[in-house]
Amino acid sequence: MKFKITSKHGVVAAKGFRVSAVSGGIKKSGQNDMALLVSEGPAHAVGIFTSNRLPAAPVQVSREHLRTSSVHRAVLLNAGSANACTGQAGLKDASRLCAGVAESIGCKSREVLLASTGVIGTRLPVNRMLGALPQAVGRLSRKNGLEAARSIMTTDTVPKQAETSVVIEGTRVRIGGMAKGSGMLHPRMATMLAVITTDMRIGRKDLHAGLKTAGAGSFNAISIDGQTSTNDTVFLLANGAAGLRTGQPGLSACRDFLEALTEVMDTLAQSIVYDGEGAGKFIEIQVQGGRSEPEAMIAARAIGDSLLVKTAMHGEDANWGRILQSLGAADIKLAPNKIKVKINRVPLVSRGVDAGTPWIQANRALRSRQITITVDLGVGRGRARYRTCDLSSKYVEINAAYRS
């Protein structure tokens, strides 16, 4: 890591952002389930969303607001109910929430963005949520990052936030964010919400390019269970509050900013995988020697999404046959006798067949919490990295009982 990543202030690490967490009456437990993030001045905002063909109402409304307004002021997030598959009524609910936030903080409705997570198919208790808005506005502060990260949790077991800073042409610029996982999680996008903020001064087009680039290797290269949600959303807001003297930072400054942004997003993405539903192991699949980068990613995903690989890792069984089986099921051409596989540096497959490492020794390498599966396809220079977790009985238990 080039940058020091901390996790103290999260989404309000950057200047000019404030956040609060309150109960909007969605979670039965009465816990906080609503977070309001506000930028003191107008911010440039960009977003990436789920590729699910049945996007939730907040996704539809946020997409619309990103298209119709060039600046944004606030993001309202909630957990407990996804406002997905709720039809026209759900869209109206989302619009009412935006109007409510706009009125509370004094901006236009289209300057408000939304993100929801939770059960699909239930309506939001909009009246109660609107009733909680004055309290949410009253509590806005630069100290509530952790509380906000906690309020958007569903089956997450820990709140997730990260921040760093980078000096851009003499001025310190901050980047921070929060995220939640932790099931129905798969790239393009993972099932997740994340909000990243920065006080960098940057144009919207560059901001969008930065989000897409940083997202490709982070949030879009993780998976818990192969399930693309209806609600996945990553927002990135930049309000320029750091006070950069130059209007247009140079190329190397932009590169530094992108690197810092990538590290913050990557930290959040990894923290989602570490906290995957029922996860006991963090598994990184590194593929090299692919014909191209996309082919290497196809291979990495095929391995990382395999239930049999994930259960073998859970059982600390270096059953490399399952790694090759899942690799062979991927739609890419392979040279069987060139394939090499290592787990935590222990060679398991060489020239496509057993490398001769005794199983006991191989299994020992799996005892650690962090597992790296390295696959060399031996046919080119394409590389990819993909992160997932093991599949445990606990995942099944969590998801068999989710609504009960």
Least distance from its own copies to the Cβ atom of residue 209, Å: 26
251-274 vs 204-217: helix axis angle to the nearest 10? 40
81 contacts: CB under 8 Å, gap ≥ 6: 26, 116, 118, 119, 122, 123, 124, 125
Is 191 tagged catalytic? yes
Least distance from its own copies to the Cβ atom of residue 383, Å: 20
Which has the closest alpha carbon to 79: 156, 158, 172? Answer: 156
**Binding of its own copies by 294 (CB under 8 A):** no
Contact between residue 57 and residue 89 where contact means Cβ atoms under 8 Å apart: no
Which range in 67-75, 96-104, 154-162, 183-191 contacts its own copies by CB under 8 A?
A: 183-191
Contact between residue 287 and residue 400 where contact means Cβ atoms under 8 Å apart: no
**Binding of its own copies by 306 (CB under 8 A):** yes
- Distance, in Å, from the CA atom of 120 to the CA atom of 125, rounded to the nearest integer, reads 14
**Binding of its own copies by 109 (CB under 8 A):** no
Least distance from its own copies to the Cβ atom of residue 208, Å: 24
Catalytic residue among 50, 154, 164, 191: 191
With respect to its own copies, which residue has the nearer C-beta, 251 or 401? 401
- Distance, in Å, from the CA atom of 317 to the CA atom of 315, rounded to the nearest integer, reads 5
Considering only residues 215-244, where is the footprint of its own copies by CB under 8 A? 225-230
Residue 109's CB is within 10 A of a number of other CB atoms, namely 18
Q: What x-and-dash track marks residues 51-70 binding its own copies by CB under 8 A?
A: xxxxx---------------
Least distance from its own copies to the Cβ atom of residue 367, Å: 14
**Angle, CA of 137, 139 and 145, to the nearest 5°:** 110
Least distance from its own copies to the Cβ atom of residue 220, Å: 14
Contact between residue 334 and residue 296 where contact means Cβ atoms under 8 Å apart: no
Residues noted as catalytic: 191
Binding positions for its own copies, rule: CB under 8 A: 51-55, 82, 84-87, 89-90, 119-122, 183-184, 186, 225-230, 306-308, 311-312, 314-315, 317, 319-322, 324-330, 332-334, 336-337, 349, 351-354, 359, 391-393, 395-397, 399-404
